[in-house]
Amino acid sequence: MKKVVANADEAIAGISDGATLMLGGFGLCGIPENSIAALVRKGIKDLTCISNNAGVDDFGLGLLLKTRQIRKMMSSYVGENAEFERQLLSGELEVDLIPQGTLATRIQMAGMGIPAFFTPAGYGTEIAEGKEVRRFNGKDYLMELALHADFAIVKAWKGDTFGNLVFRKTTRNFSTSMAKAGTITIAEVEQLVQPGELDPDQIHVPGIYVHRIFQGSNYEKRIERKTVKI
């Protein structure tokens, strides 16, 4: 099966209005910039986006929010995006705020084929509304469902033409799990190499999970907030 595609526009073929997308990265680190730009260009709307955060106003998922292409955000941190706040308060954007550990585990469970799990996070809060509660060893736990997506879109440091992926440092936090939880997984990479060039012991996502891969370009190395001491 040929997995290599020419560019981001070809990679996102088949994503249509109303799709559910997982977008990898951690904060602004390791996000699939080229694929997000292609989604903006294509104008796909009514998207449900699952991501660690919602980007910032001029970068990451903030670009899709700016063009009103996202209908619902499922995320754990949204504190750096003024447009996100505006759309939330005005009722334009549906938001599901999920504790970060719960979000990560829901994605992991989808990749592992486990339909649900129990966690104490959120018990006794609004997060618990409508969810099953069980008691284990004298402590109450919420049942959370595994989280799947039509497409998982991730960015890796290196990948080969078979789809094997290597991530750097914190960029693997959500991306490695998301790559296993999408019906179709798209990977953009900084370096695309031939099979055999990656150390098998260093591969974080085996190619069996990846359906499309391409070498991206013009990546920015953003820092969410920089503090300098004078």
CATH of the domain at 62: 3.40.1080.10
Q: Domain for residue 26, yes or no?
A: yes
Q: How many domains does the chain have?
A: 1
Cα-trace Rg, the chain: 18
* Confidence at 226, pLDDT banded by 50, 70, 90: low
Lowest-confidence segment of 91-95, 107-111, 199-203, 223-227 by average pLDDT: 223-227
Residue 111 lies in a domain: no
The residues with which 184 forms a beta bridge, in sequence order, are 151
Strand partners, 215: 189
Model confidence at 224, pLDDT cuts 50, 70, 90, reads low
Confidence of residue 96 (pLDDT cuts 50, 70, 90): very high
Q: Is residue 114 assigned to a domain?
A: no
Secondary structure in 3-state letters for 14-75: CCCCCCEEEECCECCECCCHHHHHHHHHHCCCCEEEECCECCECCECCHHHHHCCCEEEEEE
The verdict on residue 115 lying in a domain is no
- For residue 220, what pLDDT band results from cuts at 50, 70 and 90? confident
pLDDT in tens, 40-87: 999 999 999 999 988 888 899 999 999 999 999 999 987 778 898 899
> What pLDDT digit, counting tens, does each position of 98-157 carry?
999 999 999 999 999 999 999 999 999 988 999 999 999 999 999 999 999 999 999 999
- The whole-angstrom distance between residue 131's C-alpha and the CA centroid of its chain comes to 24
Question: Do 76 and 53 meet the contact criterion of CB atoms below 8 Å apart?
Answer: yes
In a domain, 118, yes or no: no
Q: Which domain holds residue 80?
A: 8-101+148-215
Pull the structure tokens for residue 133. 């509660």
Assess if residue 228 is contained within a domain: no
- Has residue 67 been placed in a domain? yes
Q: Are 176 and 6 in contact (CB under 8 A)?
A: no
Strands (E), 81-138: 94-97, 116-119, 133-136
Residue 1 pLDDT exceeds 90: no
pLDDT in tens, 163-183: 999 999 888 889 999 999 999
Residue 85 lies in a domain: yes
